[in-house]
C-alpha cells in the first residue's frame, strides 16, 4: 500500500457545542448520519465526540485533496468507531463518486479529544496494483 494523501484537523469543542445549542437537531441532521448522532448521544462527552467526528470528516476530505464542492455533503461520509476504538469511514452520494476517481482504497483514521479540542489524522492509502491493470 502506498500513501496517496494525508489530512489533519483540529477544532475547539466549544464551537461545535455552540452550533448544537444554536441550531439543535437541524444542525445535527445536516452534518451527521443517524448512526453518528446515536453514537455520540450515547456517550458521556457527547460534544467532544461530535467534534471528533466533525474534524475527522474534514481530515478525510483533506486526505483526498477534495474541497467542499457542490454535490458533496457532510452526510456523504460516515465515521464509525468499533468497540476497540478503530475508526472507519464509508462513502455515499457525490463523495463516493469522488473517491472512486482516486486510487484511495483504505483510510486510517485517528481521532483524539480533550475537554477543549478535538483533532483527527487521516492517511489515505492506495493499492499500487489497482490502476496497473489497464
CB 19 within 8 A of CB 32: no
Q: Which residues of 89-123 are buried (b: 16+ CB within 10 A; e: fewer)?
A: bebeeebeebbeeeebeebbbbbebeeebbbbbbb
* In the chain, where the domains are located: 2-126
Q: pLDDT in tens for each of the 134 residues of the chain? A: 799 999 999 999 999 999 999 999 999 999 999 999 999 999 999 999 999 999 999 999 999 988 777 788 999 999 999 989 899 999 999 899 889 888 898 999 999 999 999 999 999 998 777 655 54
- 77-81 and 87-91 strand pairing: antiparallel
Helix, coil or strand: residue 102: coil
pTM: 0.90
Homologous superfamily in CATH for domain 2-126: 4'-phosphopantetheinyl transferase domain (3.90.470.20)
Amino acid at each position: 500500500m502506498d500513501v496517496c494523501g494525508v489530512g489533519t484537523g483540529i477544532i475547539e469543542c466549544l464551537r461545535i457545542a455552540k452550533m448544537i445549542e444554536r441550531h439543535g437537531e437541524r444542525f445535527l441532521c445536516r452534518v451527521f448520519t443517524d448512526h453518528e448522532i446515536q453514537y455520540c448521544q450515547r456517550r458521556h462527552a457527547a460534544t467532544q465526540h461530535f467534534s471528533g467526528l466533525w474534524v475527522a470528516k474534514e481530515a478525510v476530505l483533506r486526505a483526498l485533496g477534495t474541497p467542499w464542492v457542490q454535490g458533496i455533503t457532510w452526510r456523504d461520509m460516515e465515521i464509525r468507531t468499533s468497540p476497540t476504538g478503530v475508526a472507519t469511514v464509508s462513502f455515499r452520494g457525490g463523495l463516493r463518486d469522488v473517491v472512486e476517481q482516486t486510487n484511495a482504497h483504505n483510510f486510517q483514521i485517528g481521532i483524539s479529544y480533550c475537554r477543549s479540542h478535538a483533532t483527527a489524522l487521516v492517511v489515505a492509502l492506495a493499492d499500487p496494483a489497482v490502476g496497473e491493470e489497464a
